[in-house]
């Protein structure tokens, strides 16, 4: 290349640079986060496809479908419902599809006028033991169909059909999975009974007792695949004639349980590592509560924490990527939340505020921890970023006697949109959910059982 | 043997005495840095924060300008008419003087307005072989412009409502907005769409509902009318 051509090339490059620099001379403004609002959704009762049934159980199915969908979409925190009194057309007298194009179709204009953003049109039919549901969701301002599906299943799966529709709607809108087919596990104490482990749908339905220890069963935890539950029971060790806090694993599919850790003292607070090959738990076999990593069959054991100064290290919570552990420790005097690498290295204290912080739980994105903090003589649920910033109180409720209620044992939903916890605000410990911003608190259980340590399952569908 | 033992004992005692005397004098004459135990004590009992008040959802739309009550205009007070008999020629002269002074004030005001308009026009219209005053962003001007852009940002953000179900979708859009001298949006173009119709519509609605925006400072008018401002939603 000659000197002349190099010179020309340089001039060209400089010129191009100048032109591009000039063309980029704009004023940029970052707007920041806008106002978040709920969308107005119209959810009329489901129509019956065919002749209106006289069979009460068939009518009940329609009502159950409606109730479950309404509750799911209400808890989602995405929608405000249009009051039926505001409807400009009778949904029972028009079809599921819009007019024109469908004889007797509904008119978008009637829904647009009252500000509806989403319209659900659904119908069901029952044939023998089978239920069929046809459901459509429309975005009214654009008159576009967001979702259109047919669901079929046995009459016993009505709730599952409804939850599946709710999941599909969330997926269609957000592109992310809904959590409406997940479950929870908790330790429950009925009046005059024993503390046993129960599994139920996330909304408290389909409760199922999975232990019959007839003594105490506590601290349940889901495996990361959602097929097993680890819990601590207090069986009688016949040789020593003492009850010991041993760790069991319950296989949900087979209903079988396995004793996996029975060292002298406490074998509790189990948390599965991703892949479910290992469990981290608290053992006191060396005299002090410390964290150990154990194979899921209990055969191999590795000590992770050792004090310092005989401090307790309990309640391990494994980060979603399996690289870190959050736990509570009183090594600084009062119990606080600490985070360390999975091998026990690089221990960092996360919470400094408050007198007693416990029960850490990771958000599914691994960026936030929820925990229970003791303040003003009661526990509340807090969240804190994993870098120690943005400490927030999510709960603040009082009991019927006017005293502050305890809100404990937080656990995140697998979609990261909700936090479940137990609270005695009604007088007895019941299960509640709250949004991570502290809004939309809802009671999940309505019974006379005292619930402790709920844990939200991973996605199960 | 005994002599050597007693001599060694004397040497030993003398040696120890020297060490003790040395330690004593060094402690008295050269005091070491005292250890401040207080520095080792860490106070970490800090109160946990209170629950924040419930987050308010989108505020109701502001009342359209036309619906708002017109600004209250103080009515000109009628001059008091005295019933008292007085020297009519004197009072007439006073009234004439008052009218004259009012006229003079009006004249000054209109002259000032004309000059202002002339200056404003001069800053926006740059034609022919003239040197543009430019838009240097330093000193007081920078403060003024920064304040203006902050006002724009606040105005747009106030009017930007996104559905809850899109709140954590991590969508982003970039819109170029041209603004006229009165602050009206004359053009808006997507430089980068989010790919989601609802999100893009919410961005356009925010701009439409914010118009008219605050009127730009004189020296920015040309720039905002031609290049405009590029808004990043959300950042």
Of all residues in chain A, the percent with pLDDT exceeding 70 is 94
Tell whether the model's pLDDT for residue A22 goes beyond 50.
Answer: no
Give the Cα separation of A288 and B148 in Å (integer): 63
The answer to whether the CB atoms of A27 and B58 lie below 8 A apart is: no
* Strands A39-42, A79-81: pairing kind: parallel
Hey, is the C-beta of B235 within 8 angstroms of any chain A C-beta?
A: yes
The answer to whether the CB atoms of A36 and B57 lie below 8 A apart is: yes
Q: Which 54-93 residues of chain A touch chain B by CB within 8 A?
A: 76-78
- Number of neighbours of residue A429 by Cβ within 10 angstroms: 27
Hey, is the C-beta of B15 within 8 angstroms of any chain A C-beta?
A: no
Nearest to A35 among B58, B152, B229 (CB): B58
- Locate all alpha helices (DSSP H) within A157-200, ordered by sequence: 158-174
Hey, is the C-beta of A439 within 8 angstroms of any chain B C-beta?
A: yes
Nearest to A395 among B51, B224, B229 (CB): B51
Q: Cβ neighbours of residue B189 under 8 Å, at least 6 residues apart?
A: B175, B176
pLDDT in tens, A115-144: 999 999 999 999 889 999 999 999 999 999
The shares of helix, strand and coil residues in chain A, as percent rounded to the nearest 5, are 15, 40, 45
Select from A36, A384, A413 the residue whose CB has the most chain B CBs within 10 Å, as the one to mutate to test that interface: A36
Tell whether the model's pLDDT for residue A404 goes beyond 80.
Answer: yes
Q: Which 162-221 residues of chain B touch chain A by CB within 8 A?
A: 162-167, 169, 176, 197-198, 201-202, 206
CA angle A311/A312/A318 to nearest 5° reads 125
- Locate all alpha helices (DSSP H) within A3-87, ordered by sequence: 3-23, 56-75
Q: Which 38-77 residues of chain B touch chain A by CB within 8 A?
A: 44-52, 54-55, 57-59
Tell whether the model's pLDDT for residue A210 goes beyond 80.
Answer: yes
Judged on CB neighbours under 10 Å (0-12, 13-18, 19+), A304 is buried
CA angle A288/A290/A293 to nearest 5° reads 145
* Strands A118-127, A39-42: pairing kind: parallel
pLDDT in tens, A37-96: 999 999 999 998 877 767 788 899 999 999 999 999 999 999 999 999 999 999 998 889
Of all residues in chain B, the percent with pLDDT exceeding 90 is 23
> If DSSP codes are grouped into helix, strand and coil, which group holds residue A453?
strand
- Number of neighbours of residue A337 by Cβ within 10 angstroms: 27
pLDDT in tens, B124-142: 444 444 445 555 555 666 7
Tell whether the model's pLDDT for residue A103 goes beyond 70.
Answer: yes
Angle between helices B197-210 and B139-158 (to 10 degrees): 120
Select from A29, A115, A355, A357 the residue whose CB has the most chain B CBs within 10 Å, as the one to mutate to test that interface: A29
Bridge partners of residue A174, in order along the sequence: none
Give the Cα separation of B217 and A405 in Å (integer): 55
pLDDT in tens, B26-35: 777 775 555 4
- Number of neighbours of residue A303 by Cβ within 10 angstroms: 13
The answer to whether the CB atoms of A30 and B153 lie below 8 A apart is: yes
Nearest chain B CA: its distance from A281 CA (Å): 28
Tell whether the model's pLDDT for residue B121 goes beyond 70.
Answer: no
Which stretch of DSSP H or E encloses residue A362? Answer: strand A356-362
In sequence order, what DSSP letters do the residues of B156-219 get, joined into one string?
HHHT-EEEGGGTTS---EEEEEEE-TTS-EEEEEEEE--S-HHHHHHHHHHHHHHPSPPPPPGG
Judged on CB neighbours under 10 Å (0-12, 13-18, 19+), A42 is buried
């Amino acid at each position: 290349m000659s000197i002349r051509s190099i010179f020309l090339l340089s001039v060209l490059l400089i010129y191009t640079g100048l032109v591009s620099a000039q063309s980029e001379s704009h004023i940029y403004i970052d707007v920041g986060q806008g106002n978040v609002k709920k969308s107005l959704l119209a959810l009329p009762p489901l129509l019956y496809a065919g002749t209106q049934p006289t069979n009460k159980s068939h009518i009940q199915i329609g009502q159950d479908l409606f109730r479950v969908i309404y509750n799911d979409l209400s808890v989602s925190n995405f929608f405000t419902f249009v009051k039926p009194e505001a409807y400009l057309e009778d949904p029972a007298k028009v079809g599921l599809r819009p007019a024109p194009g469908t004889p007797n179709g509904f008119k978008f204009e009637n829904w647009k006028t009252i500000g509806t953003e989403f319209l659900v049109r659904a119908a069901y039919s029952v044939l023998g033991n089978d239920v069929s549901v046809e459901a459509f969701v429309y975005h009214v301002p654009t008159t576009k169909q967001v979702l259109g599906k047919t669901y079929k299943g046995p009459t016993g799966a009505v709730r599952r059909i409804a939850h599946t529709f709710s999941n599909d709607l969330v997926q269609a809108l957000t592109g992310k999975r809904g959590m409406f087919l997940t479950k929870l596990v908790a330790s429950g104490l009925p009046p005059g009974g024993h503390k046993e482990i129960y599994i139920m749908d996330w909304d408290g339905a389909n409760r199922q007792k999975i232990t019959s220890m007839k003594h105490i069963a506590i601290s349940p935890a889901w495996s990361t695949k959602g097929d097993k539950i680890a819990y601590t029971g207090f069986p009688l060790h016949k040789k020593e004639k003492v009850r010991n806090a041993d760790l069991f694993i319950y296989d949900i599919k087979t209903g079988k349980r396995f004793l996996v850790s029975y060292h002298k003292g406490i074998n509790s607070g189990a948390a599965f590592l991703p892949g479910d090959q290992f469990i981290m738990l608290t053992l006191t076999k060396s005299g002090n509560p410390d964290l150990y990593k154990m194979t899921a069959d209990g055969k191999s054991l590795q000590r992770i924490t050792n004090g310092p100064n005989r401090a307790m290290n309990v309640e391990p919570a494994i980060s979603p990527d399996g690289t870190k552990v959050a736990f509570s420790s009183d090594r600084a005097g009062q119990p606080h939340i600490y985070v360390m690498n999975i091998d026990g290295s690089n221990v960092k204290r996360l919470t400094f505020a408050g007198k007693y912080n416990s029960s850490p739980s990771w958000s599914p994105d691994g960026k936030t921890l929820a925990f229970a903090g003791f303040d003003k003589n009661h526990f509340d649920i807090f969240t804190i970023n994993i870098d120690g910033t943005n400490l927030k109180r999510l709960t603040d409720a009082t009991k019927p006697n006017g005293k502050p209620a305890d809100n404990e044992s937080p656990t995140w939903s697998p979609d990261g949109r909700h936090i479940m916890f137990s609270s005695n605000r009604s007088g007895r410990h019941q299960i509640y959910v709250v949004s991570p911003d502290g809004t939309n608190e809802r009671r999940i259980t309505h019974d006379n059982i005292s619930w402790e340590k709920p844990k939200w399952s991973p996605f199960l569908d | 043997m005994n002599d050597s033992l007693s001599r060694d004992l004397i040497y030993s005692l003398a040696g120890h005495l020297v060490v003790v005397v040395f330690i004593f004098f060094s402690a008295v004459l050269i005091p070491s840095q005292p250890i401040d135990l207080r520095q080792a004590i860490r106070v970490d009992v800090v109160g946990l924060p209170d629950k924040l008040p419930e987050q308010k959802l989108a505020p109701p739309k502001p009342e359209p300008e036309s619906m708002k009550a017109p600004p209250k205009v103080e009515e000109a007070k009628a001059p008091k008419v005295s019933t008292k008999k007085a020297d009519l020629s004197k009072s007439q002269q006073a009234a004439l003087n008052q009218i004259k002074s009012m006229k003079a004030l009006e004249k000054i005001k209109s002259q000032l307005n004309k000059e202002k308009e002339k200056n404003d026009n001069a800053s926006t219209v740059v034609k022919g072989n003239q040197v543009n005053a430019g838009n240097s962003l330093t000193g007081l001007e920078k403060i003024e412009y920064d304040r203006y852009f902050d006002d724009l940002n606040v105005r747009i953000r106030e009017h930007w409502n996104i559905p809850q179900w899109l709140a954590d979708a991590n969508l982003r859009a970039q819109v170029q907005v041209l603004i006229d001298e009165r602050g009206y949006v004359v053009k808006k173009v997507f430089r980068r769409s989010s790919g989601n119709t609802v999100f893009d519509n919410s961005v356009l609605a925010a701009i439409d509902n914010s118009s008219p925006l605050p009127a730009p400072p004189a020296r920015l008018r040309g720039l905002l009318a031609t290049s405009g401002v590029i808004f990043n939603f959300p950042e």
